[in-house]
Amino acid sequence: MAEILDGLKVSKEIKAEIKTEVEKILESKRRAPHLVAILVGNNGASKAYVNAKVKDCEEVGFQSSLIKFPSTVSESELLEKIDELNKSKAVDGFIVQLPLPDQIDQEKIINAIDPRKDVDGFHPENFGKMALEMDTFLPATPFGILTLLERYNIETKGKDCVIIGRSKIVGRPMSILMGRKDFPGNSTVTLTHSYTKDIEEYTKKADIVITALGDPHFLKGEMIKDGAVIVDVGITRVDDDSPKGYYLAGDVDFDSCAAKASWITPVPGGVGPMTRAMLMKNTIIAYKTSVYND
């Protein structure tokens, strides 16, 4: 039976470490790190996620601000606010919660964010630096996965790693990071996606499988080898007859995979809490390197 890669436990440890850093900052009479979140519209999942980020800021001692716009906001108005935050000496990092309404060019918004304040790690400059193995902000979810593997001392060097899903937020950066010359890294990486034929042929040989599909219970136990490490990024609401009316499912069929794997992340409580913790980590990195912070 697999052991659990407990993202909830590790995220609490990371936030406690950040809180200690913030306390030292405040003791030296300097201001606390400041994270701003921009929320457009009333998407339920986005609102819940942003509210959780605000709560995380409170836990670690950050200053946080939430800027809300209606779903009808114009692209120019949003860009104007981003320019204001870019220039503000009181803001260390900010995020624009995705997805955005159809009238707004998402790529234009991402490109408008000052890379030095891009704590989501989505700006092309930061993505390019990541690919070149230079110091930069890493996207929060891949950063969280790396940290989880590191804290549990999961061996990655020389291992075969299969990633399912090629999104710009998770799959693609994860494929780069698992192949980098570092720990975790130095893996032989295969990036699979919706056009990959016979994905099972790849997953059966993999020492590490990272799924980021959004397809509940996709990865079954018969698709992995004994002793594989399974990291489940997916989280989907699946309707059921419970009082809530749904349950949260990952991409992995947990029971069948846990029976064969050596390590596995649960859903919820695996990658999700790590993503939020690494946003806090990126913010304090931004604070320490800020051109405005004296």
Q: Could you give the CA distance from residue 76 to residue 4 in angstroms, rounded to a whole number?
A: 46
Residue 53 annotated as catalytic: yes
SS3 136: coil
- Measured CA to CA in angstroms, residue 55 lies from 58, 65, 96 at distances of 5, 11, 17
Q: Which two tokens stand for residue 92?
A: 């260390």
Q: Which two tokens stand for residue 107?
A: 């790529």
Q: Could you give the CA distance from residue 128 to residue 226 in angstroms, rounded to a whole number?
A: 36
Residue 164, beta-bridge partner list = 192, 211
- Sign for the CA dihedral angle at 167, 289, 76, 128 comes to negative
Backbone angles phi, psi at 188, to 5 degrees: -95, 115
Question: Choosing from 120, 207, 232, 251, which is the catalytic residue?
Answer: 120
Residue 240 annotated as catalytic: no
Q: What radius of gyration do the chain's Cα atoms show? A: 19
User: Would you say 211 and 165 are in contact if contact means Cβ atoms under 8 Å apart?
Assistant: yes
Question: Choosing from 6, 56, 92, 97, which is the catalytic residue?
Answer: 97
Q: Could you give the CA distance from residue 132 to residue 137 in angstroms, rounded to a whole number?
A: 13
Question: Choosing from 15, 53, 159, 281, which is the catalytic residue?
Answer: 53
Query: Considering only CA atoms, which of 277, 274, 266, 272 is closest in space to residue 4?
Result: 266
Q: Which two tokens stand for residue 59?
A: 């836990």
- Measured CA to CA in angstroms, residue 186 lies from 41, 133, 173, 174 at distances of 41, 12, 14, 12
- Measured CA to CA in angstroms, residue 47 lies from 24, 38, 75, 246, 262 at distances of 31, 10, 20, 18, 35
Strand bridging mode 236-239 / 246-249: antiparallel
Mind telling me the catalytic residues? 53, 97, 120
